[in-house]
Copies of this chain bind each other. A is one copy, B any other.
Amino acid sequence: MSGNTLGKLFCVTSFGESHGPAIGCVVDGCPPGMALSEADIQGELDRRKPGTSRHVTQRRESDTVEILSGVFEGKTTGAPIALLIRNEDQRSKDYGNIAETFRPGHADYTYWHKYGIRDHRGGGRSSARETAVRVAAGAVAKKWLKERYGVEIRGYLSQLGPIEVPFKSWDDVGENLFFVADASYVPQLEEYMDALRKSGDSVGAKITVVAQGAPVGWGEPVYDRLDAEIGYAMMSINAVKGVEIGAGFDSVVQKGSEHGDELTPQGFLSNHAGGILGGISTGQDIVAHIAIKPTSSIRIPRNSINKSGEPVMVSTEGRHDPCVGIRATPIAEAMLALVLIDHALRHRAQNADVAVDTPRIPGSVEK
């Protein structure tokens, strides 16, 4: 593949299949001297872990991470940090029937034709299980961004199928398994999910992620813009079909007099830009939204073909998330963290000596 490394200076190389012995990654380029232990990473992994409620897959994985290298006496050394997560609950027999069949909406058909061989067990390499690795690597990035630059990266589920959940407070997010920013919506969401599960169907979702505290200057135009790299990172997550920065698709109908964020000595008066101008962070909140498609594995029978090209009906009975979006918030946060740390490092490589007299304005004006 050779497409399994992300980042230019903070590089994450991912490996592992859903039902192989292990998944993991190598994080290369982490600055030395940062305190790091398995516990720092485990906390993030637990947020994404399967089996935590009836609304997500019942696969049982403790997702216990082991640091194999790059940490000495509790601190990063600057050497590559290898992270290993052994797979535990590999009920491969559940997947025997999919060896010969291409499931609609899955990567079965494309992997088969691309590689001529396919580890079909649980989706193999194309499984969302790989996203645990991203969360683990992202935890390292998050910690460094927080400690070195005070950057805080958080996300929430802003829409589940037809139910939009507006932002109320970050405190709410941590207290519910849907990652919604207004916990009062939880009963409505549970009711919706129960009906959905019963119907054997699945549904899409929308996630919003926000980085607060990033300084002016991250991003490398004209191609490696911060928004371009966020576009790449988010779209690389399984099931993501759309990415927006700031006003996103609302920009289409906006006028210039409405969209362009005015500057004052006290800060920007709005943030339609989503914290990025000309591909470079402005000091405002960096805001991205992603669209997550409905899970393709559903009980409702669907038309497909098998490896001989013959028509078949496919119905998936395994353990699946009826809405993958529910567990996706930590993944989106991780991807944003990975993009930001890479650009923090790239920025200081070239621009470490830049000194500007002009005062920086303090992000957005508080309202």
Contact = CB atoms under 8 A, between A and B. Distances in A.
Interface stretch (A53-61, A170-178, A183-191, A257-265): A257-265
Given A29-B350, A232-B228, A349-B345, A111 B280 contact: yes
A15 B345 contact: no
Interface residues of A, number: 164
A318 interface: no
Given A68-B21, A110-B217, A351-B32, A303 B264 contact: yes
Contact of A204 (B26, B241, B259): B259
Nearest to A227: B235
A245 B351 CA distance: 31
Contacts of A269: 303
A302 interface: yes
Nearest to A19: B72
Contact of A358 (B203, B228, B234, B309): B309
A221 to B, nearest CB: 6
Copies in the complex: 4
B244 A303 contact: no
A166 interface: no
Given A112-B356, A348-B349, 6 more contacts: A9-B350, A68-B84, A75-B117, A126-B222, A203-B255, A229-B232
Q: 8 closest A-B pairs (Cβ-Cβ)? A: A107-B278, A3-B220, A105-B260, A3-B224, A2-B29, A231-B235, A202-B256, A232-B232
